[in-house]
Amino acid sequence: MNKLLASLIATLFVGLAAAQTPAPAAPATPAAKAEVKAEKSVAAAAKSEAKVDAKADAKVEKAEAKATEKTSKADAKAAKAKAKADAKVSKADPEDKAKASAKAEKTAVKADAKAAATAVDAGAKVDTVKIDATADKTKAKLDTKAVKAEGKADVKAAASK
């Protein structure tokens, strides 16, 4: 029994060793080498393109979040100014109510205008970031296409040798 077990284990180790030794490689042709090199280049370019896309998308998301926050703060500030002006109107004497009301309306208009201007500026920044992100993505895509074309040309040139 021990001899049988020992021979089975020995056979297992020999089988594993044989499976790990690489098969004798056929001599690689220049075309095959060029094709492998081209595939590696294309894979690297695609990876780089994906990285650029992810980075650009992250920038856009960050800019949108920042713009939303800025707009929210501006709206809250405008609401606070309006509330303060309305409070002054309610506290005003009956004779001064008309004057205080006019002043409150003027304050409300200014606060709304300022909030709207802030929203426009924030939106413009987001648009700029989106344009830059699109440009970065397009450049990365063009780089990938160039690498693919270059790889095809190298394979074609190697095959003709």
Q: Tens digit of pLDDT for each residue in 89-138?
A: 998 888 888 999 999 999 999 999 999 999 999 999 999 999 999 999 99
Q: pTM to 2 decimals?
A: 0.68
Give the span between the Cα atoms of 54 and 47, in whole angstroms.
11
The pLDDT of residue 20 is 60
Judged against a pLDDT cut of 70, whether residue 1 lies above it is answered with no
Residue 113: in which H helix or E strand, if any? Answer: helix 97-159
Long-range contacts of 103-111 (CB under 8 A, 24+ apart): 107/81, 107/82, 108/78, 108/81, 108/82, 110/81, 111/77, 111/78, 111/79, 111/81, 111/82
Judged against a pLDDT cut of 70, whether residue 22 lies above it is answered with no
Burial class (CB in 10 A: 0-12, 13-18, 19+), 101: middle
Among 18-27, 73-82, 90-99, which range has the highest average pLDDT?
73-82
Q: What is the pLDDT of residues 38-47, one digit of tens each?
A: 899 999 999 9
